[in-house]
Amino acid sequence: MSNILFTASATALGGREGHVKSSDGVIDIDLAMPGSPRAKELTNATNPEQLFAAGYSACFDGALQLMARQEKVNFDSEVTAHVSFLKDETDGGYKLAVTLEVKGKGIEKSVLEDLVHKAHNFCPYSKATRGNIDVSLEAQV
């Protein structure tokens, strides 16, 4: 294994209808499945897909800006990760899919598209999901 730079830890109790808390207490939030009675009762509750989307979008934007700096390209970026919870027809269970919507200001579309593909090859979340879930990339200027 490579040298560990840091480890993030969170503990969940009660699964999708429970609670999750990070080891440092920064994340300390109730979980609820969208549309469930619990979600209607706990309006500030989140779900695993929102947490995954937050992490993936932040990580990808960081990777994108790193690729841009290496190419000496300066622009403003915004990354939205749309994480979908899907029925998995192969086993009757569930699976995830992601669309990364990348907006760039002050950059040509072809340059943005190139940087998005480089970031996708570099981003730790993209590496972790590669071959496991469908990830679509959308570049917009």
> What are the pLDDT digits (tens) for 55-87?
999 999 999 999 999 999 999 999 999 999 999
Q: Are residues 86 and 131 in the same domain?
A: yes
Residue 25: domain span? 1-46
Q: Are residues 133 and 83 in the same domain?
A: yes
Q: Are residues 68 and 36 in the same domain?
A: no
pLDDT of the chain, 141 residues: tens digit per residue: 789 999 999 999 999 999 999 999 999 999 999 999 999 999 999 999 999 999 999 999 999 999 999 999 999 999 999 999 999 999 999 999 999 999 999 999 999 999 999 999 999 999 999 999 999 999 999
Strand pairing report for 28-30 and 19-22 = antiparallel
Q: Are residues 54 and 117 in the same domain?
A: yes
Q: Are residues 40 and 56 in the same domain?
A: no
Q: What is the CATH number of the domain that holds 130?
A: 3.30.300.20
DSSP states of 72-115: T---EEEEEEEEEEEE-TTTSSEEEEEEEEEEEESS-HHHHHHH
Q: Are residues 58 and 109 in the same domain?
A: yes
Q: Are residues 120 and 57 in the same domain?
A: yes
Distances in whole angstroms, Cα of residue 4 to Cα of each of 15, 55, 122:
28, 19, 17
C-alpha closest to that of 99 among 52, 135, 48, 54: 135
Q: Are residues 55 and 41 in the same domain?
A: no
Q: Are residues 30 and 60 in the same domain?
A: no
Q: Are residues 32 and 93 in the same domain?
A: no
Q: What is the CATH number of the domain that holds 32?
A: 2.20.25.10
Q: In the numeric block, which tokens belong to residue 121?
A: 């090859």
Q: In the numeric block, which tokens belong to residue 74?
A: 């300066």
Rounded Cα gap, residues 2 and 93, in angstroms? 33
Q: Are residues 38 and 83 in the same domain?
A: no
Which amino acid does the sequence have at 95?
Answer: K
Q: How many domains does the chain have?
A: 2
Q: In the numeric block, which tokens belong to residue 40?
A: 């209607």
Q: Are residues 55 and 108 in the same domain?
A: yes
- Picking from 9, 26, 46, the residue at the C-terminal end of a domain is 46
